[in-house]
Amino acid sequence: QEAVSDGFVVASQVDRTSCMRTSAASWRGVSCEMVSGSMGIASGQTLYHYLCMQLGNLDSGSNWVETVLSHNLGEGYLWCTYDSDEGYWMLHGTKNTPITSADTYTIMLDGIQDAYGWTYDIWINYDWVRTGHVSSLYNQAGFQKEVYSNSGVYTSDSSHAVFYRNWLQNSQGWAYWTSSVNTWWSTVSPIQESHSMGALSYRWETWV
């Protein structure tokens, strides 16, 4: 696993993760409204902290793209994207909304294939930030929290990350991510998670 600082890859760290992910590779898009919470960091504890939304071949890790909100030691909250084989990290600026407010993230394939693969576009708070390619038209979708530490000690979050309104897109269009979608969750201590059906979609909450 690699961590990022100011949009550039830095030394590998000891990491812990939690995730929510579709079991099937059936999706052409994913979108969420996410409240970041505190994303705790501290010297000698959590140095790098990420909240991610992902689309691609996630179980195999062979080809995927993601939006990333980072909170690293010595930095503010930064909006980034990552493509596993095309363009790698890109920095899109400092988060300009409160950590208690929801931000909207969207990754969507446009159905166009060229010599490089299937074209995707990414929006953060309805502003287009990136285009690129994934290898498949139909993909797994997921959310992930990642924390990195040199010491193996991780900083507690004073407030939780909440993915509270979530959508998936297939060839029929967009629909809420509900219990009708085969979904799995995982977490590695000390990260915790809870999931439940909200009024419209799954609500996923995760924290240290």
Phi, psi (deg, nearest 5) at residue 76: -85, -160
* Average pLDDT of the segment spanning 2-31: 75
- Domain holding 187, by residue range, is 15-207
- Which two structure tokens, joined as six digits, stand for 183? 């979904």
User: Mean pLDDT for the chain?
Assistant: 94
Task: Look up residue 74 and give its DSSP letter.
Answer: T
Looking up tokens 């994934």 gives 134
Can you give the CATH number for the domain in which 130 is found?
2.60.120
Do the domain assignments include residue 6? no
What is the number of structural domains in the chain? 1
Do the domain assignments include residue 4? no
As a whole number of angstroms, the distance between CA 155 and CA 14 comes to 13
pTM: 0.93
As a whole number of angstroms, the distance between CA 122 and CA 86 comes to 14
Q: Quickly state the pLDDT bin for 87 (edges 50, 70, 90).
A: confident
As a whole number of angstroms, the distance between CA 176 and CA 195 comes to 15
